[in-house]
Structure 1
C-alpha cells in the first residue's frame, strides 16, 4: 500500500490530540526561559572611535621646519593593520587585566596561576571587539556587567594602543634627535670659528663690509691725487708733500691708514670667501636649530599617534540580554520541537498499526 501523504494542515488534528502535552511543554519552556533570562546579568557596551595617524608625520627625521608638516589622519592600510594588531596583542591585554584587577572581577582565581591567567585572558578577549569600519575608522568596543568599568577599559585600551604605537618609532626618534644635536653643535662651532676669522680679517685688511666702502676709497684716492697734481703745478711744495703722504697712506698698507687700497685689494678675496662661508653657516645653523628644536619638542611632547573621534562613555542601556526575545525564542523552538516529536509518534503508531493489520492471522 502507498504511504498516506501529509500536509501542514494535517498537523492541526495531531496537535489537537496532543494539545495538553504541547501546552505543558510550551508553558514549561516559557517559565524556564523566563527564569533563566531574569537570572542573566545585564551586559553593557562602550565604544571608542578613533583614526590612526601616520607616525612618519610625527617623526623628527621628517621635520624640516616647524611649518608645513601636517598630521595625516588614517587611511593607510598598514597603519590600520598595525593598530588592530596592537589592540589584540598580549601585552595590551595583560596590562589592562592587571590594571583593572580582572582576575578578581571575572572570579577566575589569583594572578600568576596559569589556569587563572588563561581564563582571564579568554574572558577579556571574548568581551573585546575591535574592527575597521567602512569609514576607515577603528571602533573599539568592550562589554561588561559594570558599565563604568566597560567605559574605563575601552578608553584605557585606546591609550595603550597609542602608547605602544609610539614606542615603535621612539628609539628611531631618539637616534635622529642625537643626529640633529650633533649637526647643530658642529655648525655652531664652525659658525663661531668663521665669525672670529671674519672679525680678525676685518681688522687686518680694513674691510668691514660697509655700504659703498670701495667707492669711498676710490673717490678719496682720485681727489687726493688730483689735488697733488694741482699743488705740484702751482709749485706749492709744502702742500704737495702733505698730499703725497696722504696718497701713500690711501694706497699702501704701511702708510698708516686703516682703510687703504693695498690692504683692501688683498683682503677682498679672502673676506668675500669668509663672508660667503659665514652666510652659508648662518643659514644652515638657523635651519639646524629649528629642526633640532622641532624634533626635541616632538619627542618630549609625545604627539599622539591616533585621533580620537569619540571617547567611550558608560552605556545608558544594556546591550544584552534581550529577555523577551529569549522567552519568545524558547517558546517557538519548544513548540516546533513538540510538533515534530508528536508527528513522529503519530507516524510510528500508524505504521505499527498498519504492520499489524497486514500480518496473517
Structure 2
C-alpha cells in the first residue's frame, strides 16, 4: 500500500502539531537576536557632495585664443570622464593609504602593526567597506564614510574630498606650468620687441629731426611762410635778402644747417608714422600680455580647486546601522522558516519510513 502524498496544504496541521516546538524556536531566536542587536555598536555615516569640474583653463590653446578672457575659475560643468576620474582617484590605493595613515586607522580598527600583511589587508578591507563613492542622478558625486565615531566619519569624508581635489590638480599641474611659461615668454618677447622699437623710434627722431609729427609740421609751414614773405618784401624794397635766403634754405634743405627742416621732415614722415604705430601697438600688446601673465600667475599657481563642494560632511545625528528591528524581525522569520522546513522534513521522513513486517 503506497504512502499518503505530502503537499504544502498539509503544513497547517503539521505546524499545529509542532506548535510548541515552533513557538519555542521562534521565541529563542527573538531573544538571541534582541541581545545580539543590542550588543552591536551604532555606526554613523557622513556624506559630502561635490561636483568635479572640467579643467579647461589649463588648456594652453584655449588660454591663448584671441578675444578670450583669462578664466580664474573652472567652469561648473562635469563630463562623464570628470566624474569617472574623481571616483577612480577616491577609490585608489594611494588615497586610501594616505587617509589610513592620517587618521591612524590601524589603531582605530585595532588591526595590529602597519606592515603586516594581515593587518594591512584587514584595514584596507574595513576602510573600503565603510567608504562609498556614488555618481547620483544630478551629475554630482556623493562621498560617504561610515564609522562608530560620528566625528571621525565626517572628518574622513571631508579629508577624502580634499585629497581627491589635490590629486586631481596634480594631474594638470605640469600643463599649468606650461601655460604659465607660455605667458611669461610671450610677455618677455613683447617687452624686448617694444624696447627695440622704442630705441629705433628715438633714433629715427634724431636722424630726421622730427619730434612731433603734427605740431612740427605746423611749425615748419608757419616758419617757412613767414620767412618767404619777409624775403619777398626784402626783395621788393631792395633790402638785405642774403640772410633771409639762408633762413629759407635752412628751413627747406637738409644741408641748410637747421636740425628741423622740411626736407628731413618729408623724408622721415612715413618712417616715423610706421615706427609710432608699431610702438603704440607693441605698447598695448605689452600691457595686455603683462596683465594676462599676472592673472595666469595668480590663478594657475594659486591652487584653483578642481571641484565645487556642494555639501560638507557633518557628524550624523542618527545612526546608519544597525537597524535592530529588522535584525530581530529577520531572525524571527528565518527561524520560523527553518523550523517549518525541519518539521516538514521530519514528517516526510515518518511517512516514508518502512514498517517492519511480523515474522511467521
TM-score, scaled relative to structure 1: 0.91
Change (3 A) 1:21 1:334: same
- Of 97, 116, 123, which residue of structure 1 is paired with 2:119? 116
- Mean Cα deviation higher: 325-334 or 211-220: 211-220
Unmatched segments (≥5 aa) in structure 1: none
Aligned-partner Cα distance in 1 for 2:249–2:176: 63
Q: Confirm whether residue 270 of structure 1 aligns to residue 271 of structure 2.
A: yes
- Mean Cα deviation higher: 335-344 or 45-54: 335-344
Contact between 1:42 and 1:145, CA under 8 Å: does it hold in 2?
yes
Aligned-partner Cα distance in 1 for 2:359–2:250: 156
**Secondary structure of residue in 2 paired with 1:211:** helix
Aligned-partner Cα distance in 1 for 2:223–2:210: 16
Change (3 A) 1:205 1:25: same
Q: Confirm whether residue 339 of structure 1 aligns to residue 317 of structure 2.
A: no
Contact between 2:48 and 2:311, CA under 8 Å: does it hold in 1?
yes
How far apart are 1:297 and its partner, in Å?
A: 0.6
Q: Which residue number in structure 2 is paired with residue 159 of structure 1?
A: 162
How far apart are 1:216 and its partner, in Å?
A: 4.1
* 1:160-180 deviation line (CA, Å, top 9, x unaligned): 000000001111211332232
Change (3 A) 1:21 1:255: same
* 1:255-308 deviation line (CA, Å, top 9, x unaligned): 343321111122223222322321232122122212211221123311000000
Unmatched segments (≥5 aa) in structure 2: none
- Structure 1 residues 200-219: aligned runs within 5 Å: 200-219=203-222
* 1:131-182 deviation line (CA, Å, top 9, x unaligned): 1111110111111111100000000010000000000111121133223222
Q: Confirm whether residue 24 of structure 1 aligns to residue 24 of structure 2.
A: yes
- Structure 1 residues 1-361: aligned runs within 5 Å: 1=2, 3-4=4-5, 6-8=7-9, 10-58=10-58, 62-64=62-64, 67=69, 69=71, 71-232=74-235, 234-238=236-240, 240-352=241-353, 355-356=354-355
Change (3 A) 1:253 1:6: same
Aligned-partner Cα distance in 1 for 2:174–2:244: 73
How far apart are 1:17 and its partner, in Å?
A: 1.2
**Secondary structure of residue in 1 paired with 2:133:** strand
Aligned-partner Cα distance in 2 for 1:3–1:260: 136
Aligned-partner Cα distance in 2 for 1:357–1:300: 94
RMSD over aligned CA atoms reads 2.3
Aligned-partner Cα distance in 1 for 2:304–2:145: 26
